[in-house]
C-alpha cells in the first residue's frame, strides 16, 4: 500500500489522486485514476459517458450504505494476481443475520446505446464483499444491454443480493475464472435473463468455481430469457436451494445454452438437485459430470419438465444422485420426443429415469450404466481412473464437441471420454508410468518434491479449480521443486514433451 499523501493535479489523461485515504462524493466527469489506499464512496456516483475510471491494484473501495457505482463510461478495475482490488461495505454490522446496510453494487446500463463506442471495461483480480441488493434483476454487478465487459479472476463472497452478476437484454459479457463462494441470493451466483426474442446474446461463462451459495429460486447459475451462452468448464459445488428448484444450474425461459465440460456436484434443491430444465428451452449438454446431487422431491441429478422444447445429452456422466422421484433424472412433460440421449453414463440406465407421464425419449446408441470410477469424488476430484469404463466410451457426434477438456487437455478426435476430464491414459502413460520411468515423490507431500527421469519435459501444476500454481521446464533427470507455500489439498502435475501429455495427482499435506 502507498504511504504517500500528495495530489498530482492535471495530467494529460485527466486527474490522478494519490493519497492514503480519500472520500468521493461527486460523479466522475474527467478521466481519473484512484491510487489511494482506501477510497470511501458515500453516495451513488456516476462515471460519465466517454470518461474512464481506473483503479490501481491494492486499492480498497469502501461504500456507505446503499452507495453504488454507475458506469456510463469505462471502468478499469485491474488488480494483479498478488494485489487485488477490494470492493466492500464500510459497515458490515449485522451481516450474520442478513441485517446489514450493505452497498448497492456496480451498474452498467447501456439502454440508450451511448456506451457502445466506449473503451472496454475490465474487472480483473478484484474482490466483492457485503453488497446488499435484492431488487429484481439486479446484482453486485448488473449489466443491461452491454457487452464490452470482462469479469475475470475475481472473488464474490458474503454478498446478499438478487445475484452476484446479472446480465439482461443483449449483454455478451465474458465471465471467466471467478470464484463465487458463500453468497446469499435469490437466483444464484450468476443470472442471465430478461431478454426478448430478437435480442439473443451469447455470453461466455467459463472456468468459474461456484460453491456454497444459497438461493430461493436457484443457487448456482440461472440461464433464461433468450440467452444462448456457452457454459464451459465450470465447477458448481455444494450450493443449496432448499425451497426451490435448481441447486446447481437452471435452464429456462426460451434460452438455448451450450453446456460443456462442467462438473455439477453435491448441490441440493427441492427439485432438480443438480440441474432443472423447463419452459420452452433447447439446451445441449455435452461432456458434463452431474454427480452426488440431492433433491427432496424430484430429480436428484436433473429435473426436466414444463414445456421443454428439446434437450440433447451427449457424453455426460450422471451418477450418484438421489431424490424421492428420479434419482438420476425426472421428466414431467407433455411431449418428450425431442429428448435425446447418446453416449452417456447414467446410473441405472433408462430405468432410473422417472417419467411423470407415459412418455418415451430417444435413448440412442452408446449409453452405458457403469461406475465411472472417479479418482476422488469425496475431495471433488471427478477425473477418471485409468480403468474407468467411461474412457473412450464417448463419441464426437455433434458440432458442440469441445476441443479441450476442463483442464485444457486436448479431446481425442472421433472417440472421446465421457465426462469433463479427458484422461491421458494412452501410450505415453504406458511408456512412462507402467515402466516407472517418471516418478514423483513423496506423494502425499509437504511441498518438497523430487521428479525423476522427466528431463526435457514441460511441467505445469494446477489446483482443483484449474488455476496454474507453477510452470517450469524440467532440465535434469533428477529435478527438485518446492510448492510448500500453496494450501493443502489436491493438485495435478501435467507433463508434456510437445507430442504427448501425462497428468498425475498430487496430495499436498
Q: What is the pTM of this model?
A: 0.81
Q: How far apart are CA 332 and CA 354, in angstroms?
A: 8
Q: How far apart are CA 415 and CA 401, in angstroms?
A: 11
- Residue 6 pLDDT: 29
Residue 459's DSSP bridge partners are 472, 495
CATH number assigned to the domain covering 430-508 = 2.60.40.3080
The kind and range of the H/E element at 45 are strand 44-47
Q: How far apart are CA 269 and CA 242, in angstroms?
A: 5
The dihedral region occupied by 402, where left means phi > 0, alpha psi between -120 and 50, and beta the remainder, is beta
Q: How far apart are CA 365 and CA 300, in angstroms?
A: 24
What proportion of the chain, given as a percentage, has pLDDT over 90?
A: 56
**379-398 burial: b if 16+ Cβ within 10 Å, else e:** ebbbbbbeebbbbbbbbbbe
- Residue 196 pLDDT: 57
**Which residue reads 451450450 in cell numbers?**
258
- Mean pLDDT (the chain) is 87
The kind and range of the H/E element at 429 are helix 427-429
For residue 272, give the nearest of 292, 245, 291, 311 by alpha carbon: 245
Given a cut of 90, is residue 443 above it in pLDDT?
no
Cis peptide before 442 (omega within 30 of 0): yes
Provide the 8-state DSSP code for 352: G
Which phi and psi (to 5°) does residue 441 adopt?
A: -145, 155
Provide the 8-state DSSP code for 185: E
pLDDT classification of 189: cutoffs 50, 70, 90: very high
CA distances from 299 to 260, 269, 291, 386 (A): 20, 9, 12, 30
Task: Tell me the three-class secondary structure of 277-346, residue by residue.
Answer: EECCCCCEEECCEEECCEEEEECCCEEEECCCCCEEEECCEEECCECCECCCEEEECCCCCCEEEECCEE
Residue 44's DSSP bridge partners are 68
**Residues 6+ away with beta carbon under 8 Å from 12:** none
The kind and range of the H/E element at 251 are strand 249-251
Domain ranges within the chain, ordered by starting residue:
1-136+148-159, 162-371, 430-508
40: buried, middle or exposed (CB in 10 Å: 19+, 13-18, 0-12)?
A: middle
Q: How many CB atoms lie within 10 A of CB 219?
A: 34
pLDDT classification of 120: cutoffs 50, 70, 90: very high
> Which cell goes with 194?
430478461
pLDDT digits 0-9 by tens, 357-385 = 777 788 889 999 999 999 999 989 999 99
> Which cell goes with 329?
433424472
CA distances from 159 to 52, 95, 141 (A): 26, 9, 11
> Which cell goes with 282?
433447447
For residue 33, give the nearest of 22, 47, 46, 18 by alpha carbon: 18
pLDDT digits 0-9 by tens, 8-51 = 332 333 444 445 899 999 999 999 999 999 999 999 999 999 99
pLDDT digits 0-9 by tens, 475-500 = 887 888 888 888 887 788 888 887 77
Q: Are 139 and 156 in contact (CB under 8 A)?
A: no
Q: How many CB atoms lie within 10 A of CB 409?
A: 17
Q: Are strands 60-63 and 85-89 parallel, antiparallel or unpaired?
A: parallel
Given a cut of 80, is residue 114 above it in pLDDT?
yes
Q: Is 436 strand, coil or helix? A: coil
For residue 271, give the nearest of 309, 243, 313 by alpha carbon: 243
Mean pLDDT, residues 165-183 taken together: 92
Residue 324's DSSP bridge partners are none
Given a cut of 70, is residue 80 above it in pLDDT?
yes
- Residue 18 pLDDT: 46
What proportion of the chain, given as a percentage, has pLDDT over 70?
A: 90
CA torsion through residues 297, 299, 305, 306, sign: positive
Lowest mean pLDDT among 113-127, 309-323, 375-389, 404-418: 404-418
Amino acid at each position: 500500500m502507498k504511504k504517500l499523501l500528495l495530489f498530482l493535479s492535471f495530467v494529460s489523461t485527466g486527474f490522478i489522486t494519490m493519497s492514503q485515504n480519500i472520500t468521493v462524493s461527486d460523479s466522475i466527469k474527467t478521466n481519473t485514476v484512484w491510487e489511494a489506499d482506501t477510497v470511501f464512496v458515500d453516495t451513488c456516483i456516476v462515471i460519465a459517458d466517454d470518461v474512464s475510471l481506473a483503479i490501481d491494484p491494492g486499492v480498497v473501495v469502501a461504500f456507505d450504505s446503499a452507495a453504488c457505482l454507475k458506469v456510463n463510461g469505462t471502468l478499469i478495475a485491474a488488480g494483479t494476481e498478488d494485489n487485488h482490488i477490494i470492493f466492500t461495505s464500510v459497515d458490515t454490522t449485522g451481516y450474520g443475520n442478513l441485517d446489514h446496510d450493505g452497498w448497492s453494487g456496480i451498474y452498467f446500463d447501456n439502454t440508450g446505446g451511448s456506451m457502445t463506442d466506449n473503451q472496454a471495461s475490465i474487472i480483473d483480480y478484484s474482490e466483492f464483499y457485503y453488497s446488499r441488493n435484492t431488487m429484481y434483476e439486479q446484482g453486485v454487478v448488473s449489466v443491461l444491454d452491454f457487452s464490452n465487459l470482462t469479469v475475470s479472476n475475481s472473488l464474490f463472497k458474503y454478498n446478499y443480493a438478487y445475484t452476484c452478476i446479472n446480465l439482461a437484454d443483449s449483454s455478451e459479457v465474458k465471465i471467466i475464472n471467478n470464484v463465487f463462494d458463500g453468497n446469499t441470493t435469490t437466483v444464484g451466483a450468476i443470472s442471465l435473463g430478461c431478454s426478448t426474442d430478437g435480442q439473443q446474446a451469447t455470453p461466455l461463462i467459463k472456468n468459474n468455481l461456484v460453491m456454497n451459495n444459497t438461493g430461493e429460486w436457484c443457487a448456482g447459475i440461472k440461464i433464461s430469457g433468450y440467452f444462448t451462452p456457452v457454459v464451459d468448464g465450470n465447477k458448481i459445488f455444494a450450493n443449496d436451494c432448499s425451497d426451490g428448484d435448481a441447486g446447481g444450474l437452471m435452464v429456462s425461459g426460451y434460452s438455448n445454452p451450450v453446456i460443456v465440460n462442467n462438473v455439477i456436484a453435491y448441490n441440493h434443491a427441492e427439485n432438480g438437485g443438480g440441474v432443472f430444465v423447463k419452459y420452452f428451452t433447447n439446451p445441449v449438454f455435452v461432456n458434463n459430470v452431474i454427480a452426488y446431487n440431492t433433491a427432496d422431491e424430484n430429480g436428484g441429478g436433473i429435473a426436466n419438465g414444463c414445456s421443454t422444447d428439446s434437450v440433447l445429452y451427449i457424453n455426460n456422466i450422471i451418477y450418484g444422485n438421489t431424490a424421492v422421484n428420479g434419482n438420476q433424472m425426472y421428466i414431467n412433460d407433455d411431449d418428450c420426443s425431442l429428448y435425446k440421449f447418446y453416449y452417456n453414463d447414467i446410473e441405472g440406465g433408462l430405468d432410473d429415469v422417472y417419467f411423470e407421464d407415459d412418455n418415451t425419449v430417444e435413448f440412442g446408441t452408446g449409453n452405458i450404466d457403469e461406475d465411472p470410477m472417479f479418482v476422488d469424488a469425496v475431495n471433488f476430484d471427478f477425473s477418471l481412473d485409468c480403468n474407468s469404463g467411461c474412457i473412450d466410451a464417448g463419441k464426437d457426434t455433434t458440432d458442440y464437441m469441445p476441443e479441450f477438456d476442463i483442464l485444457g487437455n486436448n479431446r481425442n478426435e472421433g472417440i472421446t471420454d465421457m465426462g469433463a476430464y479427458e484422461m491421458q491414459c494412452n501410450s505415453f502413460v504406458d511408456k512412462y508410468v507402467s515402466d516407472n520411468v517418471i516418478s514423483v515423490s513423496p506423494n502425499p507431500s509437504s511441498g518438497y518434491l523430487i521428479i525423476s527421469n522427466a528431463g526435457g519435459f514441460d511441467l505445469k501444476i494446477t489446483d482443483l479449480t484449474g488455476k496454474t500454481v507453477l510452470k517450469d521446464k524440467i532440465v535434469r533427470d533428477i529435478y527438485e521443486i518446492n510448492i510448500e507455500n500453496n494450501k493443502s489439498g489436491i493438485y495435478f502435475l501435467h507433463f508434456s514433451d510437445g507430442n504427448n501429455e501425462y497428468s498425475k495427482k498430487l496430495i499436498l499435506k
